[in-house]
Structure 1
Amino acid sequence: MTGPAFADSKRTHRFPIRVYFEDTDAGGVAYHANYLKWAERARTESLRDMGLPHSLMMERYNAMLVVRRIEVEYVAPARLDEALLVATRVKGFGAASLDLSQDVLRAEGEAVLARMAIGLVCVRPDGLRPTRLPPPWRTALAGLAPV
């Protein structure tokens, strides 16, 4: 598998995942909660690949992104040892919010296994009150959001 990358004119981040034994049930099918873990990992790596990791947001701006909403549609099962991709796309953003879509795909053939709609909110760690997305993130997201 290759490393994570942006595709589609940098609008889609693609992050590789492998289904390990620990991710599956006794039948070798990936447990449903692991799709959420894989999506979280892919979101984190997409920010890192933009040069804007969570740690920078926390250290420099005293802010962090937290999940506000997730909707998941499971389409087909992922199985033991399969190579997968998590495709992350920015759907839109507001002053303190970010909406993403994430698809879990088979790496070969790119059949969709799960579709997710994620709503994030930027908050201050002390009290978890909403705060504006920091300027570097707003600028980067503006370049990734649909026109």
Structure 2
Amino acid sequence: MSWPHRLPVRVYFEDTDAGGIAYHATYLRWAERGRTESLRAINLPHQLLIARYSSMLVVRRVEVEYVAPARLDDSLIVETRVLRSGGASVDLAQDVIGEGAGSRRGSRSVWSVCGGGYAPRAHSGALARRVPAGRDGGRSGEGAGGDAGRVGKGDCRG
């Protein structure tokens, strides 16, 4: 799989208020689906991470900037990029954009995700090999290298 991962979504009635505008929390659901499907696309669905590697990805921090409202029946794309991966954390950036070329809709969010269940610990080698390690916005599609498997002091805490 090459990064960024792209997930198509549509704005349904259940996603909106009485005026047909998507609720702010809906963007987080779409972003979570994008994060989940990006893991599935690299052959590491959540259940496999738990069963084989005894690892979970726990969201530590989310920042969201709402750019323009998504409206009932809009076709959108949730674009997920890896900003940084190493040690016990993965920083993701996600944009919810209109399906048309250059159309900005929705939100931009940054997720800080920790590995290892309830306490930070290094990602499994399987995850480290499948996500970009650098700060290239996840555009290279290269696997992680270097120190991606080592936990540095303070990873996923600050």
Give the TM bin, normalised by the shorter chain. Answer: 0.7 to 0.9
Looking at structure 1, the residues matched to 135 and 58 of structure 2 have their Cα atoms a distance apart, in angstroms, of 19
CA deviation map 1:82-123 (0-9, x unaligned): 100000000001211000100000112342221111110012
Mapped pair 1:141 → 2:131: yes
1:112 corresponds in structure 2 to: 104
Specify which structure has the higher proportion of helix. Answer: 1
Mapped pair 1:54 → 2:26: no
Looking at structure 2, the residues matched to 36 and 132 of structure 1 have their Cα atoms a distance apart, in angstroms, of 25
RMSD, aligned α-carbons: 1.6
2:115 corresponds in structure 1 to: 122
From 89, 102, 114, give the equivalent of 2:81.
89
Identity over aligned residues, as a percent? 50
SS in 2 for 1:123: coil
Looking at structure 2, the residues matched to 45 and 134 of structure 1 have their Cα atoms a distance apart, in angstroms, of 18
Looking at structure 2, the residues matched to 37 and 123 of structure 1 have their Cα atoms a distance apart, in angstroms, of 22
Q: Structure 1: any 5+ residue segments left out of the alignment?
A: 1-5
How does the TM-score come out when normalised to structure 2?
A: 0.81
Asked whether the equivalents of residues 21 and 69 of structure 2 are also in contact (C-alpha less than 8 Å), the reply is yes
Q: Structure 2: any 5+ residue segments left out of the alignment?
A: 141-158
Specify which structure has the higher proportion of strand. Answer: 1
Asked whether the equivalents of residues 89 and 114 of structure 2 are also in contact (C-alpha less than 8 Å), the reply is yes
Asked whether the equivalents of residues 95 and 132 of structure 1 are also in contact (C-alpha less than 8 Å), the reply is yes
How does the TM-score come out when normalised to structure 1?
A: 0.87
| Count of aligned residue pairs for this structure pair | 136
